[in-house]
Each structure stands twice: as C-alpha cells, then as structure tokens.
Amino acid sequence: MSIDALRGRLPAYAKDIGANLAVLAEETVLSPQAKWGCFVASACAVGEPETLKAVTAAAREAGLTEEGFAAARTAAAIMAMNNVYFRALHLMETPEYRSLPSKLRMNRLAHHPGVETVDYELWCVAVSAINACGACLDSHEAELRARGVAPPQVQAALRIAAVVHAASRVLAVETVDHPPFSGVSG
C-alpha cells in the first residue's frame, strides 16, 4: 500500500489528513532519507498496521536505505522508553527525581550507524512529538539547532509526525465495528 492508497482508505471526514499526506510526501525541505525516516519512525511510534505498511512501502519505493529503516525503528523504540520516563520527570513537581541517573540503557541513542546524526535527531523529534515529551523535544531540538538545522526542517519533521499520527488514529477508529449514526438519543 502506498501513500496514495493510504489516502484512499481515509474517510471523507479526514480529507485534510489525506491532502497533508500528499503534500508531505512531496516535501523538499528535508533530504529524502530524513523525510522518509521521519515517516517510518512516526508510523512505528503509533503502530497502526495499515499506516505502518503504507509508509514502509512508500519509504522503500523512495529509496530509504536498510540502515535508515533500522535507525528509524531504533529511534521509535528508544524514544518510546525515554519519552515515558522523561515526560514523567518533567511533569512531577519534585525536582529530586531529575537529579537521579535514569539507569536506562540508551546506547543506540548515541550510536546509530549508517545514518547522519541530524537525520536521527529529526526522527527522535518526530517520535517525541507523538509521545508528547516536552523534555525530549527540547533536548533533541537543541541538538539539531547546535548542528545548524533550520526551524523549517524541524517543523517538517513535526508536521510529518502530526499527519502520520492523525492518519493512523483515523484508520484505527474506522476498524472499530460501530453502529451507524441513528440521530440524537433521548
């Protein structure tokens, strides 16, 4: 299933989501590797099968390398753990927790062979946006800024995350067996 096929599966009420998928598939502010890695990492982060299958097919067709696929999956996996932990620390009022070492293994966060650091950081930003971790968003965005990445590039990663997330949520809702709307109940 391609991005166009994914768009075709979206119901009429999600027409804007489909239009945004088409626009983002043609986005040029990111390199193809960075863009399709954002798509893959975002689809892995939400885990909805149809979206993941369509994004994977589109990324393969666009030439995302096997190293790119592995690194995008790694970003999604590591950030799934980190986003929960660091979001909790960020939300807790007791500052003492922030001074404790996390004691979580994160070697793959620093070692992502086969892809540029900037690409990997963009993928971590995309996943952190989906998982709503402000601390991780700030940390990875600061790393991108330090490496000279322009705000429109970070914004593109955020837009991809938002649209992939929305498409997956719509498709998840559409798979639920629900009765047709029968009007206002009283």
Task: Check 38, 44, 124, 136 and give the catalytic one.
Answer: 136
116-125 CB burial, b ≥16 within 10 A, e <16: bebbbbbbbb
Cα–Cα distance, 174 to 85 (Å, whole number): 31
> Which residue is associated with the tokens 């062979």?
113
Cα–Cα distance, 180 to 82 (Å, whole number): 40
Q: Per-residue pLDDT tens for 59-116?
A: 999 999 999 999 999 999 999 999 998 899 988 888 888 888 777 776 665 666 679 9
Cα–Cα distance, 49 to 172 (Å, whole number): 9
Is-contact 54 1, C-beta < 8 A?
yes
pLDDT of residue 73: 95
Task: Check 38, 44, 124, 133 and give the catalytic one.
Answer: 133
Q: Per-residue pLDDT tens for 31-72?
A: 999 999 999 999 999 999 999 999 999 999 999 999 999 999
Active site residue 44: no
Tokens for 96? 């003492």
Q: What single DSSP character describes residue 26?
A: T
Looking at per-residue pLDDT, the higher value among 161 and 91 belongs to 161
Q: Name every residue whose Cβ is closer than 8 Å to that of residue 1 and which is 6 or more positions away in sequence.
A: 9, 50, 53, 54, 57
Looking at per-residue pLDDT, the higher value among 108 and 169 belongs to 169
What number is the average pLDDT over the span 165-181? 81
- Which residue, 60, 56, 51, 38, is CA-closest to 8? 51
Q: What single DSSP character describes residue 179?
A: P
What number is the average pLDDT over the span 143-156? 97
pLDDT of residue 64: 96
The confidence band for 186, taking pLDDT boundaries of 50, 70 and 90, is very low
CATH top class, domain 3-174: mainly alpha
Is-contact 161 130, C-beta < 8 A?
yes
Cα–Cα distance, 25 to 115 (Å, whole number): 20
